Amino acid sequence: MSTTPQAAPRRATITDVAREAGTGKTSISRYLNGEMSVLSPELRARIEAAIARLDYQPNQMARGLKRGRNRLIGMLLADLTNPYTVEVLQGVEAACHALGLMPLICHAANEVEMERRYLQLLTTYRVEGVIVNALGVREETLRPVGGGGIPAVLVDRSVDGLVTDMVGLDNRAAAELGTRHLLDNGFDEIWFVVQPFEQVSSRQLREAAFREAMSAQGEQRGKSAARGHTLVLNLADADEVARSLAELDRAIDAAAQASDAAAATGNAARIALFAANAPVALCLALHLKARYGADWQARVALLSIDDPDWAELTGVTTIRQPTYEIGYRAVEFLHERIEGVQTIARDCLLPGELIVRASTLR
């Protein structure tokens, strides 16, 4: 049955409790702050009873105003659409809970302007610190943070000119690990596919490490060196995506022809795609499936940084990031800063884990 939800009656305040318990506000405050040693058992009992009777709950805002700290931290997210973000968020949540912090979540939805506005808003709520999964771009936007402003820790990527703690994947090692895996499995042609990376440090590092690993391959391999390419996939622009995918298609077709030709000599060319993160991998997989059918993996191998749930289902090899831990550590770092720790800015690089699946094995 539906009845009318009613407006909440005014909540009890510390004054109410004091009156109810027949004492002063100070004693109530002491009780709330656990200073039991300075409260007679008798008074204490009265207070307890009064609190229970009034269902009293101290007002965090008022406490915060007085103490100058409200246990609020901001969490600025670039893109909730990315499973990476959600996983990090879980770590953040857990750590906050453990440390008695309360996260204010803001989703910039890939818009720089939003990022700026939210940062300002957070500042207005006097959060004690912020964890920022920045859009990248320039320091400009993040002015209120780090350095002279609120303590901050960056997640996944660093921002030029911003001196703060940062925690994320060891991108160099991860990209190298993936490239090596592909090389070791005899692929002749490897395409590293990544979103525009001028602005985003983690993408830059991954791409650079990929190229280096390709250059360094020579020694290990008996046969001729595998070719490496970098393809930029701008997921924000459907036309650009289409163009990039077309380029990829041509390469795949060419490899297939070469492969057919070489098949006679038992030396078929093999092509692999190395996706810089899950959104890219998903885009690639969807395209390949549309183009080559359910059996697309027989034609192209796919390896991805990030380990979305569909990877296991489709047998795609991945490099899993310790996302939960990244979020957790970020909060720990921030907490230390809030407590006044004064070390130099720290970088915490966590290793990725290669999860080999059918896709990259033959």
Partner DNA sequence: CTGTTAGCGCCTTCAA
Partner DNA sequence: TTGAAGGCGCTAACAG
Among 43, 54, 99, 114, binds a second copy (CB under 8 A): 114
C-beta closer to a second copy: residue 69 or 250 = 69
- Phi then psi dihedrals of residue 268, to 5 deg: -70, 140
Nearest-approach distance from CB 107 to a second copy, in angstroms:
4
Query: What is the enclosing helix (H) or strand (E) of 60?
Result: helix 60-67
Longest dimension (CA), the chain: 97
Nearest-approach distance from CB 53 to DNA, in angstroms:
15
Nearest-approach distance from CB 231 to a second copy, in angstroms:
20
Among 48, 49, 59, 315, binds DNA (CB under 7 A): 59
Q: Interface residues for a second copy in 158-197 (CB under 8 A)?
A: 163-165
Nearest-approach distance from CB 33 to DNA, in angstroms:
6
Q: Is 39 one of the binding residues for DNA (CB under 7 A)?
A: yes
C-beta closer to DNA: residue 35 or 140 = 35
Question: Which of the listed partners (a second copy, DNA, none) does 70 bind, with a CB threshold of 5 to 8 Å by partner kind?
Answer: a second copy
C-beta closer to DNA: residue 38 or 246 = 38
Q: How many residues interact with DNA (rule CB under 7 A)?
A: 30
Whole-angstrom Cα distance, residue 286 to residue 275?
Answer: 13
Among 67, 63, 128, which Cα is nearest to 102's?
Answer: 128
Whole-angstrom Cα distance, residue 136 to residue 330?
Answer: 17
Q: Is 150 one of the binding residues for DNA (CB under 7 A)?
A: no
Count of CA atoms in the C-beta half-sphere (13 A) of 156? 28
C-beta closer to a second copy: residue 61 or 225 = 61
Q: Is 80 one of the binding residues for a second copy (CB under 8 A)?
A: yes
Among 3, 5, 8, 13, binds DNA (CB under 7 A): 13
Kindly give, in sequence order, each residue whose CB lies less than 8 Å from that of residue 130, ignoring residues fewer than 6 positions away: 73, 74, 75, 76, 119, 122, 145, 150, 151, 152, 153, 334
Q: Is 146 one of the binding residues for a second copy (CB under 8 A)?
A: yes
Q: Is 24 one of the binding residues for DNA (CB under 7 A)?
A: yes
C-beta closer to DNA: residue 149 or 196 = 149
Question: Which of the listed partners (DNA, a second copy, none) does 265 bind, with a CB threshold of 5 to 8 Å by partner kind?
Answer: none
CA distances (Å), 347 to each of 73, 169, 170, 344, in order? 20, 10, 10, 10
Kindly give, in sequence order, each residue whose CB lies less than 8 Å from that of residue 310, ignoring residues fewer than 6 positions away: 282, 285, 316
User: In DSSP terms, which residues pair with 318 in a beta bridge?
Assistant: 304, 355
Q: Is 104 one of the binding residues for DNA (CB under 7 A)?
A: no
C-beta closer to DNA: residue 28 or 167 = 28
Contact region for a second copy (CB under 8 A) — 24-32, 61-69, 209-217, 256-264? 61-69
DSSP string of 118-160, one letter each residue: HHHHHHHTT-SEEEE----S-GGGGTTBSTTSB-EEEES---T
The answer to whether residues 333 and 153 touch, using CB atoms and an 8 Å cutoff, is yes
Whole-angstrom Cα distance, residue 56 to residue 23?
Answer: 15
Task: Using the Cα atoms of residue 72, residue 78, residue 79 and residue 85 in order, give the sign of their dihedral.
Answer: negative
Q: Is 15 one of the binding residues for DNA (CB under 7 A)?
A: yes
Nearest-approach distance from CB 149 to a second copy, in angstroms:
6
Q: Is 63 one of the binding residues for DNA (CB under 7 A)?
A: yes
- In a 3-state reduction of DSSP, which class is residue 294? coil
Nearest-approach distance from CB 227 to a second copy, in angstroms:
28
Kindly give, in sequence order, each residue whose CB lies less than 8 Å from that of residue 260, ignoring residues fewer than 6 positions away: 268
Nearest-approach distance from CB 23 to DNA, in angstroms:
3
The residues that touch DNA, with contacts defined as CB under 7 A, are 10, 13-15, 22-30, 32-33, 37-40, 42-44, 58-59, 62-63, 65-68
